[in-house]
Amino acid sequence: MVHLLIVEDDPTIRTPLIRALRERGHAVAAAHTAMSGLQTALDERPDLVVLDLGLPDLDGIELLRMLRAVSPVPVIIATARDDEAEIVRGLDAGADDYVVKPFTAAQLDARVRAVLRRGSANSQEAPAATVVGDLRIDPGTREASLAGTVLDLTPREFDLLHHLAGRAGQVVTKRELLTEVWQVPYGSADKTVDVHLSWLRRKLGESAQQPRYLHTVRGVGVQLSAPADPS
Ligand code: CA
């Protein structure tokens, strides 16, 4: 059974919609205002939210932004026909789909099923492992191995290796590593990258003098690439 939350202030839309969706086998909760909708979404954790944009206390897009900050729940916007700019704003703010009023329960139901299908396809899709030579980096399990032996990496070392492997064969600058892996602005902290690279080298069983996978490009950055003779 799918748990739906309808956020809609107009009872002439809300009441028949709730009835029709229940007849289709869904569990339906409803809220009349944006703030009670947010509260219900957090309390009841519905599988999907149907969100009206014209609400008495707050714009539906504002509610969507607040919801997106705390929950990945799929959202379908229900809006009046002449609201194309609103539809775009809604999709930009993180809505998964929209229906244009007046809509039938059958149409909404089909869109609900389509959105939920997409969601479950995404969540079942494990992130692919990256393989470079004998190195295998699996972001799903956050495990890296070299020639079948699991490497004992800290979370930061894993992220660093994963980022470099994703750009294998290219020179990655320290600036990029700081902003992408450490998520800090480039500055005096670039020694941090050097230190972590040297730890990573040691765990890969190599040195800056005799690199196999991690090649320093002086003054530019670092490049991860498979050695010509992996093992
Ligand atoms: Ca309304």
The yes-or-no answer to whether 3-123 and 130-224 have a common fold is no
Q: How far is the CA of 99 from the centre of ligand 1 (A)?
A: 13
Report whether 93 contacts 71 (CB < 8 A).
no
Round to whole Å and give the CA distance between 134 and 224: 12
Q: How far is the CA of 56 from the centre of ligand 1 (A)?
A: 7
pLDDT tens readout for residues 160-172: 999 999 999 999 9
Q: Which residue has the higher pLDDT, 231 or 219?
A: 219
Quick one: what percent of the chain has pLDDT higher than 90? 65
Q: How far is the CA of 35 from the centre of ligand 1 (A)?
A: 14
pLDDT tens readout for residues 81-93: 677 888 888 888 8
Q: How far is the CA of 8 from the centre of ligand 1 (A)?
A: 6
Report whether 206 contacts 214 (CB < 8 A).
yes
In the block, residue with structure tokens 């997409």 = 118
Q: How far is the CA of 109 from the centre of ligand 1 (A)?
A: 20
- Pick from 203, 185, 181: which is nearest to 193 by CA? 181
Q: Do the bridges between strand 214-217 and strand 221-224 make them parallel or antiparallel, or are there none, so unpaired?
A: antiparallel
Report whether 36 contacts 63 (CB < 8 A).
no
Tokens of 58: 């707050």
- Pick from 95, 54, 89: which is nearest to 76 by CA? 95
Question: At the topology level of CATH, where does 3-123 sit?
Answer: Rossmann fold (3.40.50)
What are the residue boundaries of the structural domains of the chain, listed by start?
Answer: 3-123, 130-224
Q: How far is the CA of 54 from the centre of ligand 1 (A)?
A: 4
What pTM value is reported for the model?
A: 0.56
Tokens of 130: 């990256």
The yes/no answer on whether domain 130-224 falls in CATH 1.10.10.10 is yes
Round to whole Å and give the CA distance between 75 and 192: 41
Q: How far is the CA of 48 from the centre of ligand 1 (A)?
A: 18
As a whole number of Å, the end-to-end CA separation of the chain is 53
Does the structure show a pLDDT above 60 at 230? no
